[in-house]
Amino acid sequence: EKHVSSASEDLGCRRGDFSRKHYGSVELLISSDADGAIQRAGRFRVENGSSDETSDYTPGTWRRTDVHLENPEYHTRWFFKYFLGKVHQNYVGTDAEKNPFYLSVVLSDQNNQRVPQYRAILWRKTGTLKISLPYSPNKTLSVKSILSAMNMDRFEKGPREILNPEIQKDLLVLEEQEGSVNFKFGVLYAKDGQLTDDEMFSNEVGSENFDKFLNLLGDAITLQGWAGYRGGLDTKNDTTGIKSIYTVYQGHELMFHVSTMLPYSKENKQQVERKRHIGNDIVTIVFQEGDDASSSFKPSMIRSHFTHIFALVRYNSQNDSYRLKIFSEESVPLFGPPLPSPPVFTDHQEFRDFLLVKLINGEKATLETPTFAQKRQRTLDMLIRSLYQDLMPDMHKNMLNRRSFSDVLPESPKSARKKEEARQAEFVRIGQALKLKTIVRGDAPTSLVTTGLYRKEPWESQSFCSTFPYEIVCADSWGQSFLVSTDTAGVMLLDGETLPPVQVFDKTMVVKQMHVLEPQDLLITRADKGKDARLYVFRLSALKRGLEERQLVRSKCDCRENKLEKTKGCHLYSINTHHGSELRIVAAIRNKLLLITRKHPRFEGPSAAATGTDSPVEEFQYIREICLCDPPVVMALVDGPTGENDNMICVAYKHQFDLINESTGDAYRLHHVDANRVNFVAAIDVYEDGEAGLLLCYNYICYYKKVCPFNGSTPMIQSNTSDFHFSWNQMPNAIVCAFPYILAFTTDSIEIRLVVNGNLVYTAVVPELQLAASRSDIYFVSSAPVSSASNCSSRDTSSQSSPQTPTGYEMPMFPSPLGDGEAACKHIFKIPLCNLVGRSIERPLKSPLVNKVLTAPASVMVPPTPLISATHSLSLSRMEIKEIASRTRKELLGDTTDSTQPDSTVALCYFELESYLSVRYRLGSESTEADLDVQLHCSTSSEVEPEKVLLRAESPPVASAFSLTTSFEEDVLDLK
């Protein structure tokens, strides 16, 4: 019988409150000039640490362990790391929509931990999908079953193997579309009181504090003859300055475009050469002099369509600290780490770590915005199609068609084997040469060569009990102890290494599911299976007394008065997470749900004796039965916003998740799973702004769905902004949500991601892993002994060996699978919840019902943003645009032009130097004075010479092509 872990009843978390408190809220930022006239505006998410002044934070209470690179290259660049230079298979096919795809499969040893597994990458125009599949020596995996696991079951042309080793070169290029391993960031120096980008870019030199900050960021290098990553700077002729600031951080080369180090021109008010670089950076640091009270920087002061993220840094010489504020264009997804509260750093090394990680994560997040994602998708589509065209002629000649749907690693006849071995040797040689070339070129995700201080990660596990001889069926924490149900020895209480386990129930009580609720003095269990299954309820105080006084081990017979009568045949139950008001239990008996509540929480203390009974059964009452169409596989209880007839039960069965109204029994379809086979993992209740949401977990997918209240009122946040989903790399058996992390427990790894965006931060390899309990501290079981399990979660440095060396087993060896008759000892580990959960979040969280009393009325919580139409991020009125237009015309041309003349065509240009120029122009001949937007495309390379750009206009009133005749310096654009 498959036990669905308690992860489905896991303690929830509030994404909304949390994300606003720690990731800021979106504001319309308008910048005006000295006369107060509006210049520009944009919508940015402003992160300023916690704006909640009432919180009792003091600087230094944040934990620097929360600073993680998201989707780190050494975990995500699979093709480079696990495939290139090793024997693997590549296949090509076309899907049902006639789009070509590639599949790469390798049998690899996970982290050199003697855990063999298949890794597979599916390359499609929409992006890549990466999954790991368990390896079983007596069952080889077919290509078809791998694709099926990736949700591909229909093809136009079935996959065939590509035998040409040169394919590795093309696949490496595809992987490099995920973004650069190296980064260029702008650094703009602003004096106190400077309000426009022209002023900021015109600062010839910085200050002593600015130099100190640059010194913290990296090393000053001489550009001429520089052989490392150059970030678009000239390393031959000094045209982009003599020196620059450069550093390497966790395997990433970073080049900073520092405004005061780029060429300064006395004649050119706009400092085009400086803007050319910094305006083309996705992320820019603005170092602003002056104290915090002085006029503050707004992103709208900078004219660039390309810069999406600004990091505002101020230095306070009084206490030698840095203060940080982050502005992100509103389309950029949330990225960590969240700013500490207040966002002040006294430890400079910590500040550097935090800032660099924030900048790298920010640039990666920006690549997911629609603008960049569409560009990347077009490139990927083009590359995949052209590669497919190149392969077509080979399709009939070289491909071994008989291997199309065969095993991934076939046994070939002896005569063919020599030929195949020669091919594989050549394949490996070419792969290793490519790998070496990429490393030498500096584009390799070489990982942690330069990691700074070693620090304990929040998910680091502690050994709890190193020799537990039984299989664990289910468990829960009881204070600092651990209550465990075993397959053959009943239920035991463990107190770690020091004390021997104490038996609580003998083996006649076969407990399959349990909850220890200490504040309620309650233990709930589901015991036995099939028709004999029942729910039992116990007082913890009575169990404890029994253990202390008589060491009595209870049998099934002793528990008769603890049975909940109507629960015979129950195969699954669930309780509400936030049982502050009343405890609700839903028991599933085949396809019938039985709703049970506890009448009144007992008074704490020794009142159990006063009631004269050791059994709390009397306190439970049966409310109603609800019939479903199928027996549920997963259940979760969801608190409605009022608690009056709007509590819900989420159930998963067949191919769907449904919501059942507890009062009426009405069912609503929440999510349909479009896959041949569904493996339901969990439904985790998550509260956002006092409204329920659910994380629906199945197969490789985790899907966040806002639960709208049933009374028809619309949720505060539109569904598209709050719903999101992500994929795990390995099929989870259980999922735990411990804000800010979400952890997936697979057969041999713990995959750790962030709840706010689903980004991966770490994968720990743990052989033969089983999650035991997760309702408070997390306990898991592994076959690894203590010494090597601590290595499992240590940094993955195993692949740092030189590219030529085949992977050797440098790590401690795990015990081989046992022969018959040997007893396996399990090792129990504990991850303390307090290490994972940020201080800002209390667990268990209050249900929305409790919030209603504490917080201000809901109307106050609605942010006052809907005043601006949410269709586009440009939020200026036509009047404001006109105002800007006429001011710009005056600035550019003086007011000499009579714009009413039919012929005169006036171009109002904003010199935003980026991968495309956006020019707003007006045609005087048009009586409507319509504002037309033209996308002018030019090369994306930042080395482009502005004078030579050929521009193409895409709006009908303009001639089909016109060229830029006068140089940028003269601020005039001639339209021919």
Q: What is the pLDDT of residue 914?
A: 28
Do 266 and 168 fall within a single domain?
no
Q: What is the pLDDT of residue 966?
A: 27
20: which strand partners?
none
Looking at the domain assignment, is residue 327 inside a domain?
Answer: yes
Q: What is the pLDDT of residue 60?
A: 38
Q: What is the pLDDT of residue 750?
A: 94
pLDDT band (50, 70, 90) for residue 688:
low
Do 158 and 222 fall within a single domain?
no
Whether pLDDT at 746 is above 90 = yes
Tens-place pLDDT, residues 45-83: 888 876 443 343 333 345 666 889 999 887 888 999 889
Strand order in 741-745's β-sheet?
734-738, 741-745, 749-754, 760-765
Q: What is the pLDDT of residue 287?
A: 96
Q: What is the pLDDT of residue 780?
A: 95
Do 188 and 308 fall within a single domain?
yes
Q: What is the pLDDT of residue 277?
A: 92
Last residue of a domain, one of 834, 852, 870: 852
Instruction: List, in sequence order, the alpha helices (H) in 259-334.
Output: 272-278
Do 748 and 841 fall within a single domain?
yes
Domain that holds residue 94: 79-180
Tokens matching residue 258: 């520092």
Looking at the domain assignment, is residue 588 inside a domain?
Answer: no
Tens-place pLDDT, residues 674-685: 888 899 999 988
Written as one string, the DSSP assignment of 447-512 is: -GGG--S----TT--EEEEEEE-S-EEEEEEETTEEEEEESSS-EEEE-TTTSPPEEEE-TTS-EE
Q: Highest mean pLDDT: which of 358-367, 408-417, 716-725, 849-858? A: 358-367
Looking at the domain assignment, is residue 211 inside a domain?
Answer: yes
Spatial CB neighbours of 748, under 8 Å, sequence gap ≥ 6:
110, 115, 117, 134, 765, 766, 767, 768, 769
pLDDT band (50, 70, 90) for residue 627:
very high
Spatial CB neighbours of 896, under 8 Å, sequence gap ≥ 6:
none
Q: Are strands 321-329 and 309-316 parallel, antiparallel or unpaired?
A: antiparallel
Do 156 and 188 fall within a single domain?
no
Tokens matching residue 99: 């789009």
Do 109 and 218 fall within a single domain?
no
Whether pLDDT at 761 is above 80 = yes
Do 258 and 355 fall within a single domain?
yes
Q: What is the pLDDT of residue 814?
A: 34
Q: Quickly count: other Cβ atoms within 10 Å of residue 793's Cβ.
A: 20
CATH number of the domain within which 246 lies: 3.40.50.11210
In whole angstroms, give the CA distance from residue 816 to residue 810.
Answer: 16
Last residue of a domain, one of 350, 371, 392: 371
pLDDT band (50, 70, 90) for residue 845:
very low
Tens-place pLDDT, residues 230-250: 999 999 998 999 999 999 998
Looking at the domain assignment, is residue 120 inside a domain?
Answer: yes
Q: What is the pLDDT of residue 272?
A: 85
Looking at the domain assignment, is residue 684 inside a domain?
Answer: no
Do 85 and 207 fall within a single domain?
no
Last residue of a domain, one of 118, 147, 180: 180
Place of tokens 């509400």: 576
Tokens matching residue 568: 């015979």
Q: Give the angle subtended at the CA of 819 by the CAs of 813 and 821, to the nearest 5°.
A: 130
How many distinct structural domains can be found in the chain?
3
Do 99 and 213 fall within a single domain?
no
In whole angstroms, give the CA distance from residue 970 to residue 946.
Answer: 12
Do 267 and 138 fall within a single domain?
no
Looking at the domain assignment, is residue 654 inside a domain?
Answer: no
Do 329 and 264 fall within a single domain?
yes
State the burial class of residue 415 (Cβ atoms within 10 Å of its Cβ: 0-12, 13-18, 19+).
exposed
Looking at the domain assignment, is residue 410 inside a domain?
Answer: no
Written as one string, the DSSP assignment of 179-242 is: --SSEEEEEEEE-TT--SHHHHHT--S--HHHHHHHHHH-EEEE-TT--S--TT--SSS-TT-S
Do 140 and 234 fall within a single domain?
no
Q: What is the pLDDT of residue 302?
A: 85
The SS3 assignment for 853 reads helix
Residue 110: closest CA among 727, 760, 767, 745: 767
Tens-place pLDDT, residues 382-432: 999 999 998 887 766 554 444 444 455 555 556 677 888 888 888 888 988
Looking at the domain assignment, is residue 379 inside a domain?
Answer: no
Place of tokens 């944009």: 42
